[in-house]
Amino acid sequence: MENSLATSHGKIILIGEHSVVYDKPAIAIPINSVSLDVYIEESEKNHIYCKFFEGELCESSEDLLGIRNLIEKFFEKYNIRKKIKIIIESDIPNERGMGSSAAASLAVARALFRYFDIEHTEDDISKWANISERIIHGNPSGIDINVIKHNKSVYFIKDEKIEIFPIDLDAFLVIGDTGIKGKTKETVSNVKKLIEQDSKYMEYIENLSKFSNEARKYIEDKDLENLGNTMNKAHMNLQKLEVSCKELDEMVNIAIKNKALGAKLTGGGGGGCMIALCSTLEIAEKIKEEFENLDKEVWISNI
């Protein structure tokens, strides 16, 4: 197969999930150990091929509703009559909080512009990717789109100018997959209902906002111990927002027991992934081994 027209990588939210929906800061980082490629070829009909569907675009599964919408609106906007086959090859796990949908949305948008040789800006890429993201997530904060588009760590506040936030720590991050699909749309909706029913839940959102700013300072000071403590506090507040689950809590506890400096869920929760901050590769590998003994998929990333 020819070279891909577009490549995207995964991401994780280091801190600030859920509070980011309420215009509070969050920090996210790219994960280059997982990636997604998009290829486009001429075809007699519009087809799409990916790991959970192969066939005509008009018959694609519900999982692809966002991508299908993006493609159809793109064709309509630019009056495209040519038929194509879009091939998406990805090792970013789906619905795990690692940005698989944003990676696909961005790469498909970029590939379409390149394939049809249409002049565009990076803002155009984001605009088209968001057509898909809004269908998938309802009211996305935009953090996934931005960290994956730039492939750099970001300090992010919704509807404000993106701030690239370089992170250079002598540490490692273990990313552990519970094996359960994350439920971002559902958990965001549930948190909204909790806040509407009882204002005490807004306190946890405010706490998470404070922890994001604490984490920023500790990252700048290269203070790993306090960064880990802040991650632990963030997880406890996410538990109070009822977005964690038994499997996430168990993996967080295993990481702490095995000398992680801090551990928490990452992303929407209800499943998906957790992360653990480790001061050495040896500790990270021990935690990875513990998770693999439970048949969990695990990645180690330096930060």
Catalytic center residues: 144
In this structure, what are the phi and psi dihedrals at residue 274, rounded to the nearest 5 degrees? -125, 165
Which residues 6+ apart lie within 8 Å of 119 measured at CB?
A: none
Task: Count CB neighbours of 52 within 10 A.
Answer: 10
H/E element, 261: none
Task: Count CB neighbours of 223 within 10 A.
Answer: 16
Burial class (CB in 10 A: 0-12, 13-18, 19+), 62: exposed
| Cβ proximity of 130 and 145 under 8 Å | yes
| Cβ proximity of 266 and 272 under 8 Å | yes
